[in-house]
Chain A
Amino acid sequence: MTTNLLSLRVASQHLLAPVGIVLASMALPAIANGFVLFQATQVMVFAVAILGLNLLVGFSGQLSLGHGAFFAIGAYVAAILMGQYDVPYWLALPAAGVVAFVFGLLFGLPALRLEGVYLALATFSLAIATPQILKLSVLTPLTGGSPGIAVSKPQAPLGLPLTDDQWLYYIALCVTGAQYLLARNLVSSRSGLAMLAVKEDPVAAKAMGVNLSVYKTLAFGTSAAFNGIAGALSAMAVQYISPDSFTFYLSASILVGLVVGGVGWLPGAFFGALFVLLVPNLAEGLSKGLSGAVYGAILIALIFFLPSGASTFRSASLLRTRRKP
């Protein structure tokens, strides 16, 4: 009986925070105005992208400086499907994920042979080349070239009394929740363990019968799919995309968010997303012209003083709950 009560209490303690967060985020549109909702949607967009990169870096040990490219693919797929083929948004979102997944697999194949610095170099050049590829004149009928494409915001169905901003916020909330659960389950599944083994010790993993190539490529594809979905959401939120929205700065932001949130800790994605969205604004407030310098300095300071990012606090709280019983 006591053990039952105890486990109930532990369970409630464990559930309290997630349930609270979900309820609070569902209630947010009731109190927040359009701009705050837009910012909150953007936080979720980045959180999904960072979650995806975390699957790659934190769980399969590959480094990517170029995930903005997959983000861009997702955004373009969604914009083109919705704008030119009248595909509804709820189909465009998964389609963006699937296309990004395929591109991720394709890039993951050569990436198999690259390690560490070399993979960083290849993905860095992918990030730099992305805007140019998007501007390619052959693709202009589809992509709209440099001027870009406008995207219409999804509207609430069944005459629900919600503004477009509120409805998009709820879509983003659902997608983010689903992606988070997906990532969590993937990590604790057999495949997730195999990926982790590949990261920790490739030789030992191979000896245990884990197929390195399959899991590394799959990790690349999956993380690209997350970024594609994030890109599609972002296109709907911003309502406009152009090649210059997907510069190296985007890829760098996703990576910075990952480092700030903590590599290998999934909830860190939300802290990382808050950082990459809010700190540049903060830096802008501190000094208009030097915002990039302030941002860079904050980032470097964070790496020096808090090398594992927000996940530092996770281990502290974990120890506390372990010691209690």
Chain B
Amino acid sequence: MELFVQQLVAGLSTGTIYACIALAVVMIYQAIGHVNFAQGEMAMLSTFVAWQLMQLGVPYWLAFVLTVVLSFGMGLLIERTLMRRLRHAPPLSQVAVFIGLLLMLNSAAGYAWNFTVKPFPTPFGTGPFLGASWISQHQAGMLASTLAILAALVVFFRFTRVGLSMRGATSHPVSARLLGIRVQALEGLGWGLASAIGAVAGMLIAPIVFLEPNMMAGTLIYGFAGAVLGGLGSPAGAVLGGLLVGVLENMAGTFIPVIGGELKLTLALVTIVLVLVIRPQGLLGRKLVHRV
């Protein structure tokens, strides 16, 4: 039983990272109707920026805030310079640009900071949380941060003018534009937010997986699985899906021998395919209906 609770909590805490990545994926899906395959590399670059700032002597929280702001700028910049011009390009061209972006960011990070694995500090501490043996301080901090981000996003999308117009712009772009909403500007905002959320995810997971240019490949797949499981159109679903995928990964790793370490990525693949085949709209998403 103790093992079960321990694994459940460990699963939930890694799940928070997947939830953050899934949130970022959903933000961009909402903005452009496509999945950003370079999301993981963007988060990785942000994490390196945070590391570099700390190497220069900036205290953790200041570096954290600066990184989030800079990442927001990076997302906005990518939208302004690249994605905006590809609005009407075929999906294949967009995918190819994502791949180009992925290669560029990965190689640039490797060039600037080389491929050796670097430790990354945690602001929450590494000891047990409040004396409990089944959860560490870092895990508790990760859970709390993700829930805080989710709460902020819920407030943003439900109660602020900008958040409401963003929802309007994605569900009915033409009507939104007629109502005077600047749909283009909001797309940039979506990219910025996604990039900022990805940065938080990167900084939270870096103490666990360590910092290196390829740190995000596996995490991104789980983030995708979380987003698909929760429903690509729903931020709350993304968090739920991310947490569930984290728990599933840990449970399967502990209690099913072969899957253990060897088939972890395959588990994400199977999850994605199964969800898409059985319930394509995900747990909390709305079913898409095509008009013929």
Task: Give Cα distance in the complex from A14 to B269, angstroms.
Answer: 47
In the assembled complex, how far is the CB of residue B263 from the closest CB belonging to chain A, in whole angstroms?
7
Residue of B nearest to A58 (CB): B92
B89 CB-CB contact with A under 8 Å: yes
Interchain residue pairs with CB less than 8 A apart (7) = A63-B91, A110-B273, A128-B220, A128-B265, A290-B108, A299-B100, A307-B89
B262 near A132 with CB under 8 A, answer yes
9 shortest interchain CB distances as A-B pairs = A292-B107, A296-B104, A296-B103, A299-B100, A296-B100, A129-B265, A300-B100, A289-B111, A293-B107
Interface stretch, picked from B2-10, B30-38, B118-126, B199-207, is B30-38
List residues of A (130-147) whose CB comes within 8 Å of B's CBs.
132-133, 135-138
Question: Whole-angstrom distance from the CB of A262 to the nearest CB of chain B?
Answer: 11
B277 interfacial contact with A, CB 8 Å: yes
For the complex, is B102 an interface residue (Cβ under 8 Å from A)? yes
Please indicate the chain A residues that have their CB under 8 angstroms from the CB of B82 in the complex.
300
**Chain A residues with Cβ under 8 A from B220's Cβ?**
128
Asked if B171 CB lies within 8 Å of chain A CBs, one says no
Contacts of B106 in A (CB 8 A): 292
Kindly identify which residue among B104, B217, B262, B269 contacts A136, using a CB–CB cutoff of 8 Å. B262
Question: B272 an interface residue at 8 Å Cβ cutoff?
Answer: yes
- A297 interface residue per 8 A CB criterion: yes
Please state if A116 and B265 are interface contacts (CB–CB under 8 Å): no
User: Count of A-B contacts with CB under 8 A?
Assistant: 139
A125 at the B interface (CB under 8 A): yes
Residues of B at the A interface (CB closer than 8 Å) are 29, 33-35, 37, 82, 85-86, 89-93, 95-97, 99-104, 106-108, 110-111, 217-218, 220-221, 224-225, 228, 232, 258, 262-266, 268-269, 272-273, 276-277, 280, 292
Per the bound structure, the CA–CA distance linking A216 and B29 in Å amounts to 26
Q: A117-B29, A289-B111, A292-B110 are in contact. Are A307 and B266 (CB under 8 A)?
A: no
Tell me if A295 counts as interface (CB < 8 A to partner B). Answer: yes
Q: By DSSP majority rule, is chain A's interface helix, strand, loop, or mixed? A: helix
In the assembled complex, the Cα of A258 lies from the Cα of B276 at a distance in Å of 26
Q: Tell whether A303 is near chain B: CB-to-CB under 8 Å.
A: yes
Task: Decide if A57 touches B92 in the complex (CB within 8 Å).
Answer: yes
The smallest C-beta distance from B158 to any residue of chain A, in angstroms, reads 26
**Residues of chain A within 8 A of B107, CB atoms compared:** 289-293, 295-296
Residues of A within 8 A of B (CB-CB), count: 44
Q: Which residues on A sit within 8 Å (CB–CB) of B104? A: 292-293, 296-297, 300
| Chain A residues with CB under 8 A of B97 | 299-300, 303
Binds B, one of A18-26, A30-38, A167-175, A248-256: A248-256
CB distance from B160 to the nearest CB of A (A): 28
Q: State the Cβ distance, A36 to closest chain B Cβ, in Å.
A: 26
Say yes or no: A125 contacts B89, CB within 8 Å: no
Given A110-B277, A129-B221, A263-B90, 4 other A-B residues pairs in contact with their CB atoms under 8 A:
A117-B232, A118-B280, A296-B100, A307-B89
Cα A124 to Cα B37 in complex, Å, equals 9
Q: Give bound CA distance, A304 to B5, whole Å.
A: 52
Q: Inside 8 A of A263's CB, which chain B residues have their CB? A: 90, 92
Cross-chain contact A125 with B91 (CB below 8 angstroms): no
Minimum CB distance partner of A249 in chain B: B103
Write out the residue numbers on chain B whose beta carbons fall within 8 Å of the beta carbon of A290: 107-108, 111
Return A141 CB to nearest CB of chain B, in Å: 15
In the complex, the answer to whether A117 meets B33 with C-beta atoms within 8 Å is yes
B265 touches A120 (CB 8 A): no
Contact status of A138 and B266, CB under 8 A, knowing A113-B280, A117-B35, A255-B96: no
Q: Which residues of B contact A219 (CB under 8 A)?
A: none
